Amino acid sequence: VSEPAPVRVYLATPSSLQEPDRRAWALALLPADERERIRRFRSERDRDVALASRVLQRRALSATSGGAVPPDAWRFDSAPHVRPRIVGPTGFGALSWSASNAVGLAACAVTLGGAVGIDVEPARDEAPMDVVEAYFAARERTSLGGLTGSARARHFVEIWTLKEAYGKARGQGLALPLASLAFDPTTRPPGFRVGPPVVDDAARWHLLQWWVGDGHCLALCAAREGATPPVVSVVWDALA
């Protein structure tokens, strides 16, 4: 029986590229058009996040190609709210990846297995109850309703990142009917139920979740190829 392809998660702190030498190193790993796009950011904070994300994704893909493709050689077809695809070099159709960025943390998951989705969100002080009303399943609302204050805010972020990670693994992002997905972040692995109109088998997904320090919650959703879940490994400071 063959092992499922492993999933590797790369994490980086965007501020690690603030030092001029590090920034020059990172910019040199991008093709000219992306370098130009990064230079146009007006906010330094947003620029650091975008630079870290672009470099992290390109290096992660290059590592997964076994070094066959240098970071600046990947070409993507991307549009807002659509899962990006590799359009060059050809021959990497089996590669799945997903990226997520927040102030303070960039993340990228890569695998030669099935679909993968990742999401990172910063911690919050409060759960936005309007979002809960609109996008949470009944059982998710019930579990949040039993909590108050920071425990409720934490539980909200855990459920939200799981919804986003699943949406990205499916390639639909937040365009899915989110209230039809019910996650339970209190168990390991997190619980997951799918209801109509979403047609899927929750058992075909492997979910993982953890807090990166106290500041960010991370959720990963990877397709299972069989009974054995993929091995997930983490590179904690991939741009240091």
Ligand X SMILES: CC(C)(COP(=O)(O)OP(=O)(O)OC[C@H]1O[C@@H](n2cnc3c(N)ncnc32)[C@H](O)[C@@H]1OP(=O)(O)O)[C@@H](O)C(=O)NCCC(=O)NCCS
**Residue 101 lies near ligand X (rule: CB under 6 A):** yes
Q: Which is nearer to ligand X, 72 or 147 (CB)?
A: 72
Q: What is the DSSP letter of 177?
A: -
**Residue 34 lies near ligand X (rule: CB under 6 A):** no
The partner residues of 110 in beta bridges, in order of sequence, read 8, 97
Q: Whole-angstrom Cα distance, residue 6 to residue 96?
A: 11
- DSSP letter string over 56-81? HHHHHHHHHTTTSS-GGG-EEE--TT
* Subset of 105-124 contacting ligand X (CB under 6 A): 119
**Residue 84 lies near ligand X (rule: CB under 6 A):** yes
What torsion do the CA atoms of 28, 31, 33, 37 make, to the nearest 10 degrees? -50
CA 108, 201, 4, 73 dihedral sign is negative
* Subset of 186-225 contacting ligand X (CB under 6 A): none
Backbone angles phi, psi at 115, to 5 degrees: -60, 150
Residues in the interface with ligand X (CB under 6 A) total 19
**Residue 81 lies near ligand X (rule: CB under 6 A):** yes
* Subset of 144-173 contacting ligand X (CB under 6 A): 164, 167-168, 171-173
**Residue 134 lies near ligand X (rule: CB under 6 A):** no
User: In this chain, which of 87, 175, 203, 240 binds ligand X, going by CB under 6 A?
Assistant: 175
Task: Give the interface with ligand X as residue ranges (CB under 6 A).
Answer: 53, 78, 81-84, 98-101, 119, 164, 167-168, 171-175
